[in-house]
Amino acid sequence: MVREYRITLLPGDGIGPEIMAVTVQVLKAIAPTHDLQFHFSEVPIGGAAIDATGNPLPPETLDDCRQSDAVLLAAIGGYKWDNSPRSQRPETGLLGLRSGLELFANLRPATILPQLIDASSLKREVVEGVDIMVVRELTGGVYFGQPKGIFETETGEKRGVNTMAYSEGEIDRIAKVGFEIACKRGKKLCSVDKANVLDVSQLWRDRVVQISAEYSDVELSHLYVDNAAMQLVRAPKQFDTILTGNLFGDILSDAAAMLTGSIGMLPSASLGADKPGVFEPVHGSAPDIAGQDKANPLAQVLSAAMMLRYGLDEPEAATQIEKAVMAVLDQGYRTGDIMSPNMKAVGCQGMGEVLLKALG
Ligand code: IPM
Ligand code: MG
């Protein structure tokens, strides 16, 4: 019996279309082996959507995503739109997608690949064996709290305001995701907050402690975010699963990604309660190398593997893709961002070709 899935493709901006093209080839190649059939639809988001429709998240794009089984996103953004009003910025489309699909849980793995260990800016002994999962809350906190805006005070002076707010329900549901993920990994969960200063963080900590009663086999610890940032670069191997809010997670996941030395290798998953998940690389749209066949498609390809594993419950297909990525690295193929001496330089398409061969 063939299992059919509707996949929405959002290539977006910059290198997005190039890395998406490689990934679609990979998905098409593995489908028959696993009795899968994918029905792809491609719709615009971000800068591409602004240029086409004037809206970074056209309603048709959100509708298409809602009707899908999973959404594969590449990257959005570029210099061209950097000075546009907020409603006309690519990032606004991405945030609208996250809230529109209620993707409150963002999973960002940072795993050191043995083949790329020397690409890290930290010493080998510090990073060897690092395997961290950052669970970031994605639809709340200071990104979305009200009031927000730039207001004029009585004296005519402008005042910029954002509000960091979390309700108990928002904390509980992301905490449960954090504990569930920790259960499947090393059974250690570190919740990161700023409870020494922020009331919103005190509530966060109280609720996480409360929820931990349901997960007695997970060892729970807490760190303030400043200390967590320091510990991540000092001794990253102490971490297994990190649970944190939207802004802290944004920052810490970039730091965790860089431990691996290759942000071009890292996938992510954004999940909600029932709607389709969105799977995307952690890196951005790299407008400086767009259209030059220099981009590393592997984070996008690994995002497709995460889509199969976490979005579609097709772990065998996911494993086949992940193994092919390891194989091409073992064979020495490298794009510019992960190049090191004596390795074989390939472009984006070239990496796609060797991947297809490695899939067998
Ligand atoms: C990320 C990005 C986004 C964020 C931007 C592009 C809105 O930095 O996915 O981490 O801040 O969440
Ligand atoms: Mg970020």
Average pLDDT over the chain reads 96
Q: What is the mean pLDDT of residues 229-248?
A: 98
- 248: CA distance to ligand 2 center in Å? 10
Q: What is the mean pLDDT of residues 296-309?
A: 97
Q: What is the mean pLDDT of residues 236-265?
A: 93
- What atom in ligand 1 is closest to the CA of residue 246? 12
- Give the residue numbers marked as catalytic: 143, 194, 226, 250, 254
Q: Where in the chain is the domain with CATH 3.40.718.10?
A: 1-103+272-360, 105-264
Residue 275: is its pLDDT beyond 90?
no
Grade residue 340 by pLDDT with cuts at 50, 70 and 90: confident
Q: Is the CB of 94 under 6 A from ligand 1?
A: yes
Buried b (16+ CB within 10 A) or exposed e, 23-46: bbbbbebbbeeeebebeeeebbbb
Give pLDDT, residue 330: 96
Phi, psi (degrees; rounded to nearest 5) at 240: -115, -75
Query: Tens digit of pLDDT for each residue in 156-214?
Result: 999 999 999 999 999 999 999 999 999 989 999 999 999 999 999 999 999 999 999 99
50: left (phi over 0), alpha (psi -120 to 50) or beta: alpha
Which CATH fold topology does 1-103+272-360 show? Isopropylmalate Dehydrogenase (3.40.718)
Query: Tens digit of pLDDT for each residue in 11-41?
Result: 999 999 999 999 999 999 999 999 999 999 9
Give pLDDT, residue 357: 98
Q: In the chain, pLDDT over 70 holds for what percent of residues?
A: 100
**CATH code that applies to domain 105-264:** 3.40.718.10
Cα gap 234→202, rounded to integer Å: 26
Q: What is the mean pLDDT of residues 212-240?
A: 98
Cα gap 112→262, rounded to integer Å: 9
